[in-house]
């Protein structure tokens, strides 16, 4: 019987030996940024690499062309651990959220685990998850059952601080379109219906609502269309809002109020409102047992893990939805000076810097080591699942009972 620390050393050595290849993958993704559901080259590169390493790869899963699933199997039945890859970029900004690192790190971890998998029970699956930045690839993958056979899932995100236990806000993107009637703004304004005023009223109504929201709520919007010329009453105007809160249930309540703000804007101006939403991102509930195992591995590599702050600032991720169906974590690895956030030029540059490369390697090692812990220790998996049942599933019952 091989012991797990020996397996971990061999997995780490594999990642070190693969260092240049992994950095090359990350650099290729970075140089060819592809946005939501159009990650054709990126997903092909990751799939090719997995196939060359002997993974069984299915390209295009759950009806998503740029999602994929690779599998490798141990020497007998056992746990199924999922390593998640993201590889989508931001419109115009490119890889300013470092998803190039996330794609390459998941590959590094998967290959390292596979190199010792013949000595272990269980399965490692790598799931390619498109459109995290908009579109919610993981929401769709969850809904279509891609995680049904998974016992635990993880992915590592680059950041300004290394932290393992970190949640995220529940979030929904709301799209508003108002239709009015165009007319000459000076000669015949009485014939017009001003769609832009409906948008402006919506913003003012939301600001009036803001006072009464709980402190964890976040509502922020932009005007995406506001008319074409100052002398024409705008017959069409559009806006986009992001509605977030600590919990999915409250975020949905706030969303309903924001829609009412838009309906009021439409009523006041006579414009008609059409709205739509993108799949909601649930709040991420980190599995603490899994997080503890992961943190111990990073500490063993000499990587300092920060404690979460009481007022930890968070964004949103579709990994939240994964954490509602299987035990999951999304640790963060520091690649940039603290205080520099994602979705900035600085972060994009860090994602291809020596520090970004090191983050990639550390992310891959942490995921590989933790996967080996899970596959080799049925008791650990049992504790991870027990925590999931006692926390997440219980909360879901409460949430469903209260709001839906």
335 binds Zn ion (CB under 5 A): no
Report the C-alpha gap between 289 and 312 in whole angstroms. 20
For 395, residues 6+ apart whose C-beta sits below 8 A from its C-beta are 285
**In which region does residue 134 sit, left (phi positive, over 0), alpha (psi from -120 to 50) or beta (all else)?**
left
| Residue 336 in contact with Zn ion, rule: CB under 5 A | no
Decide if 133 contacts 89 (C-beta within 8 A): yes
The rounded distance, in Å, linking the Cα atoms of 326 and 106 is 18
Which one of 90-98, 120-128, 275-283, 290-298 is the stretch in contact with Zn ion (CB under 5 A)? 90-98
Nearer to Zn ion, 97 or 217 (CB): 97
Closest CA to 160 of 301, 13, 398, 359: 359
Specify the stretch interacting with Zn ion by CB under 5 A; choose among 37-45, 95-103, 185-193, 283-291. Answer: 95-103
Q: How far is the CB of 266 from Zn ion (least distance, A)?
A: 34
* Beta carbon nearer to Zn ion, 97 or 350: 97
Nearest distance from residue 183's CB to Zn ion, in Å?
45
Residue 402 backbone dihedrals phi, psi, to 5 degrees = -85, -35
Is 72 or 97 the residue whose CB approaches Zn ion more closely?
97
Closest distance to Zn ion from the beta carbon of 348 (Å): 12
Residue among 124, 149, 136, 104 at smallest CA distance from 36: 136
Closest residue to Zn ion: CB criterion? 97
Interface residue with Zn ion among 84, 97, 111, 333 (CB under 5 A) is 97
Q: How far is CA 117 from CA 23, 298, 372, 384, in A?
A: 24, 21, 9, 21
Report, in Å, the least distance between residue 28 CB and Zn ion: 18
Handedness of CA 157, 158, 164, 169 (dihedral sign): negative
Q: What percent helix, strand, coil does the chain show, rounded to 5?
A: 45, 20, 35
Measured CA to CA, the distance from residue 385 to residue 147 in angstroms comes to: 14
Residue 370 · residue 2 · CB < 8 Å: no
Name the phi and psi angles at 384, rounded to 5: -60, -45
Q: How far is the CB of 350 from Zn ion (least distance, A)?
A: 13
Nearer CB in complex with Zn ion: 97/141: 97
- Name which of 84 and 193 has its Cβ closer to Zn ion: 84
Q: How far is the CB of 133 from Zn ion (least distance, A)?
A: 7
**127 closest CA partner among 188, 235, 46:** 46
Burial (CB count within 10 angstroms: exposed 0-12, middle 13-18, buried 19+), residue 330 = buried
Residue with smaller CB distance to Zn ion, 97 or 107: 97
Query: In the complex, what is the shortest distance from the CB of residue 361 to Zn ion, in angstroms, rounded to a whole number?
Result: 19
* Closest distance to Zn ion from the beta carbon of 343 (Å): 8
- The residue count for binding Zn ion (CB under 5 A) is 1
Q: Toward Zn ion, which CB reaches closer, 192 or 366?
A: 366
Q: Is 319 in the site for Zn ion (CB under 5 A)?
A: no
Nearer to Zn ion, 351 or 376 (CB): 351
Give the interface with Zn ion as residue ranges (CB under 5 A).
97
């Amino acid at each position: 019987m091989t012991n797990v620390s020996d397996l971990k050393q061999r997995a780490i050595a594999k990642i070190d030996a693969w260092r240049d290849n992994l950095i090359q993958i990350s650099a290729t993704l970075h140089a060819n940024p592809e946005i939501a559901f159009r990650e054709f080259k990126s997903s092909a590169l990751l799939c090719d690499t997995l196939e060359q390493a002997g993974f069984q790869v299915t390209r295009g899963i759950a009806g998503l062309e740029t999602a994929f699933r690779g599998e490798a199997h141990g020497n007998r039945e056992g746990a199924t651990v999922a390593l998640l890859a993201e590889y989508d970029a931001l419109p115009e900004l490119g890889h300013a959220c470092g998803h190039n690192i996330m794609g390459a790190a998941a590959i590094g971890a998967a290959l390292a685990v596979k190199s010792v998998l013949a000595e272990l029970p269980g399965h490692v699956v790598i799931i390619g998850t498109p459109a995290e930045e908009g579109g919610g690839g993981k929401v769709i993958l969850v809904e279509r059952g891609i995680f049904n056979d998974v016992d635990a899932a993880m992915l590592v995100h680059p950041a300004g601080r290394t932290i393992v236990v970190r949640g995220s806000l529940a979030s929904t993107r709301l799209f508003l379109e108002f239709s009015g009637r165009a007319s000459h703004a000076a000669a015949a304004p009485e014939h017009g219906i001003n769609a832009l005023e409906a948008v402006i009223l919506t913003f003012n109504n939301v600001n009036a609502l803001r006072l009464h929201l709980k402190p964890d709520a976040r509502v922020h919007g932009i005007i995406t269309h506001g008319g074409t010329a100052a002398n024409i009453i705008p017959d069409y105007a559009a806006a986009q809002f992001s509605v977030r809160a600590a919990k999915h249930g409250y975020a949905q309540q706030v969303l309903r109020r924001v829609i009412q703000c838009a309906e009021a804007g439409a009523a006041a101006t006579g414009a008609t409102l059409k709205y739509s939403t993108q799949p909601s991102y649930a709040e991420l509930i980190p599995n603490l047992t899994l997080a503890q195992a992961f943190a111990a591995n990073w500490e063993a590599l000499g990587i300092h893990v920060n404690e979460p702050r009481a007022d930890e600032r968070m964004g949103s991720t579709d990994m939240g939805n994964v954490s509602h169906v299987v035990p999951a974590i999304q640790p963060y690895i520091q690649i940039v000076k603290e205080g520099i956030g994602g979705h900035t030029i600085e972060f994009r540059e860090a994602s291809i810097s020596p520090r970004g490369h090191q983050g990639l390697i550390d992310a891959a090692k942490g995921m590989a080591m933790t996967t080996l812990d899970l596959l080799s220790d049925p008791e650990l998996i049992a504790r991870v699942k027990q925590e999931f049942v006692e926390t997440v599933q219980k909360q879901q019952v409460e949430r469903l009972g209260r709001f839906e």
